Amino acid sequence: MSDTGISQLTEAYGIILFTERFEACVAFYKRTLGLTVIERAQELVSFQFGGYLMVERGGHGSEGQKARSQNPCVLRFNMDDIDAAINVLRAKGLDVKAQVFDWGTIASFTDPDGNLCELKSPALVGA
């Protein structure tokens, strides 16, 4: 068992996102982004997110995008058709800002708590 790493023992990988606007964030990830709920308890909701994304009470919200020092992570969605995804999110009222780089396109938006989310194309990571 000395060659066994934690990844061989892990059932699923996940991210826990502490939120202040819990219900608004749950609705955002469920209705706006269309993530599937896989678990719900009193203070948390888990969504299918590659591994999973758990939205939990106890964070601090922001009226605008949080500074990196307030939230040093980004929720990334690698897309095959970023233009279609941008159009879907804009049709749902999200302010999506796209930037084109020589290595691909990033389209960023925030959840109701100000947490940064990004679409990325081309989907090179994990391909």
The set of residues, in sequence order, having a beta carbon less than 8 Å from that of 25 and lying 6+ positions away, is 17, 19, 55, 111, 112, 113, 115
- Angle value at C-alpha 42, between 38 and 46, nearest 5 degrees: 25
Per-domain boundaries in the chain: 6-121
Confidence class for position 127, pLDDT limits 50, 70, 90: very low
pLDDT above 90: residue 9: no
pLDDT above 50: residue 88: yes
From 1.20.1250.20, 3.10.180.10, 3.90.79.10, 3.30.1490.190, which CATH number describes the 6-121 domain? 3.10.180.10
Q: For residue 85, what is the enclosing H or E element?
A: helix 82-91
Torsion 52-107-32-55 (CA) sign = positive
